[in-house]
């Protein structure tokens, strides 16, 4: 197999190879914060949820569910992109919570709500406008 060299685009504003790599790393980066708010467990991913980052998100949800707490809030307000991987993860979390008679609420905007509608699962995931509302509805 022969290596192919791709020339950099012309112009002074063309990003260097390292800059492109950094952009890709940021794009495929996900942080997951976990907190207790008034006795309710809140999982808050920050970043995109896709095939690359979905494993970390799933691990965080499994860890949260394994605490045995009956209610879980997932705050998706810091997720600028989610593909069908995220929907699958939510379905897995819902099944796991149902096994312990738990409930899941989602804090999200139009992006996540739209993905749930596209996947025809919007009725399974109650969406709240903010964490405070979600906490109140779980109590």
Distance from C-alpha of 50 to C-alpha of 26, rounded to nearest angstrom: 13
Task: Report whether pLDDT(129) > 80.
Answer: yes
Q: Which CATH code of 3.40.605.10, 3.30.465.10, 3.30.750.24, 3.40.190.10 fits the domain covering 30-138? A: 3.30.750.24
Segment among 11-25, 78-92, 98-112 with least mean pLDDT: 11-25
How far is C-alpha 85 from the geometric centre of its chain's CA atoms?
9
Spatial CA neighbour of 124 closest among 90, 78, 101: 90
Spatial CA neighbour of 73 closest among 123, 119, 130: 130
Highest mean pLDDT among 14-18, 33-37, 110-114: 33-37
Whole-Å CA distances, 72 to 53, 59, 108: 20, 14, 14
> What does the pLDDT look like over 35-67, one tens digit per residue?
999 999 999 999 999 999 999 999 999 999 999
pLDDT > 70 fraction of the chain, expressed in percent and rounded: 80
- Which pLDDT value is given to residue 8? 45
Residues 57, 59, 63, 65: is their CA dihedral positive or negative? positive
How far is C-alpha 9 from the geometric centre of its chain's CA atoms?
34
């Amino acid at each position: 197999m022969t290596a192919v060299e791709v020339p950099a685009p012309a112009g002074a504003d063309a990003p260097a190879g390292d800059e492109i790599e950094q952009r890709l790393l940021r794009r495929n980066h996900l942080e997951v914060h976990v907190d207790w708010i008034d006795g309710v467990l809140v999982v808050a991913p920050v970043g995109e949820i896709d095939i690359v980052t979905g494993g970390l998100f799933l691990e965080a949800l499994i860890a949260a569910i394994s605490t045995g707490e009956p209610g879980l809030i997932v705050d998706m307000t810091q997720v600028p992109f989610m593909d069908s991987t995220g929907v699958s993860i939510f379905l897995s979390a819902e099944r796991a919570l149902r096994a312990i008679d738990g409930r899941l609420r989602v804090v999200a905007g139009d992006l996540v709500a739209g993905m749930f509608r596209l996947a025809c699962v919007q009725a399974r995931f109650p969406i709240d406008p903010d964490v405070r509302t979600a906490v109140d509805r779980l109590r």
